[in-house]
Amino acid sequence: MVQALYAIAAALMIGLSAAGGAIGDGMVFSKFVEGVSRQPEARGQILGSTFIGVGVVEGIPVIALALGLVLLLSKGGGL
């Protein structure tokens, strides 16, 4: 029973953070397209900032993935 709860907690942690990261990436790239449509000459600068923003947004799901795997593979997780 406890192992099932660990698995559910890890699945929620990984799944919800992945969904949040995907939504965040979509928002960052929508603002990139919006910015380039307003100022096409600043495309290079906007693109650099976009990649930094995506890196920041993707950091949280990677950390959640690591914590979820630690939760699953720990002594209490039972895998």
- Identify the band that residue 79 occupies on the pLDDT scale cut at 50, 70 and 90: low
Residue 37 lies in a domain: yes
* Dist. CA 32–CA 60, nearest whole Å: 21
Answer for the pair 10, 71: CB distance below 8 angstroms, yes or no. yes
Residue 63 lies in a domain: yes
Query: Domain span at residue 42?
Result: 2-73
> Which pLDDT tens digit goes with each residue over 40-69?
999 999 999 999 999 999 999 999 999 999
* Dist. CA 79–CA 9, nearest whole Å: 14
φ, ψ of residue 9 to 5 degrees: the values are: -65, -45
pTM surpassing 0.85?
A: no
Res 34 pLDDT > 90: yes
The total domain count for the chain is 1
